[in-house]
Amino acid sequence: MLLKDFIPAPDVQQFVQLYRIVHLRFEAGQAIPPKAYPPRPEHCLAFYPFDTETVLFDQQGTMQQHLPVVLYGQLSEVTHRIIGHNFLVFQIIFYPGALYNLTGIPASEICNQYLPAQHFFTTNVLQVNEQLRDADSYAAMLDLANDFVRQLIHRQRRSLLPVDDACRWLLQQNGMVSVDAMAKAACLSSRQLERCFAERTGINPKTYERIIRFDKAFRLRNSKPQFSWLRIALESHFHDYQHLAKAYKTFTGLSPNAFHAIENNAPERQFGLSEGYYND
């Protein structure tokens, strides 16, 4: 079983943060708990070469299922995901703005959405999904993903601008960059920066920055459950526990302890895995 993040090939790293593979196999008839999937600073193309998943959006009251390749943009709410017994997802996690530049898709159209990816890509993503199913190793899957992204780069719709570097900078600095500093780096006014940022991410910089810090706290708690909540708050760049708890309430509707009580029963926990920091 596997839950791991992998570094993409050097020539695609300008667009792709990481590849993530989650591979879980359950016995026939075994009960599989749902996965509460919290917001994270990600635009994702997800391939499901075997069993797909059912995704529930509580706030919207919607459900999506039976999609072999999925595109979703920035999420700002928890989704509940129900997986099958032979579950493998290969995720391509793009940098903020990368999908906007590679495909021309406005980020606002894919925020809090779970969409059939074949409607958005000229490259045959369903064929790539079949190739992933036939791959004989995770390394072969990574090669397929790198080749797919290279095709996207070859057909790139928009040129990269300084604002794209500023968007990546915010993510790479764990949200610890002011809007004014980003605007200066992008040679834009603060208002222009916010408009361009929303085009690329679907949300404003302050909300994105809060999601970055929330995600860091979520993963740190999973990686270091012995840490106190105050230590997690401070290491995730919150002023104190109260600000961390407010972020959890905003993005999950629950307190940190209540949400992690659910997280501790996620499907991957049955194999001793968790969403912490797993890098190749």
Same domain, 48 and 84: yes
Residue 248 included in any domain: no
Structure confidence at residue 58 as a pLDDT band (50, 70, 90): confident
Looking up residue 115, the CATH number of its domain turns out to be 2.60.120.10
Same domain, 51 and 144: yes
Same domain, 181 and 78: no
Closest by alpha carbon to 2, among 18, 20, 19, 16? 20
Q: Supply the range of the domain harboring residue 83.
A: 2-154
Closest by alpha carbon to 109, among 95, 99, 118, 124? 99
pLDDT for 101-119, tens place per residue? Answer: 999 998 999 999 999 999 9
The pLDDT score that the predictor gives to residue 123 is 79
pLDDT for 205-261, tens place per residue? Answer: 999 999 999 999 999 999 999 999 999 999 999 999 999 999 999 999 999 999 999
Same domain, 132 and 172: no
Residue 105 included in any domain: yes
Same domain, 167 and 105: no
Structure confidence at residue 277 as a pLDDT band (50, 70, 90): low
Would you say residue 276 has pLDDT above 90?
A: no
Q: Could you give the dihedral angle defined by the CA atoms of residues 6, 275, 15 and 182, in that order, rounded to the nearest 10 degrees? A: -140
Residue 55 included in any domain: yes
Same domain, 201 and 102: no
Same domain, 143 and 191: no
H helix or E strand, kind and range, residue 137: none
pLDDT for 126-157, tens place per residue? Answer: 999 999 999 999 999 999 999 999 999 999 98
Structure confidence at residue 280 as a pLDDT band (50, 70, 90): very low
Domain count for the chain: 2
How far is the C-alpha of 251 from the C-alpha of 241, rounded, in Å?
A: 15
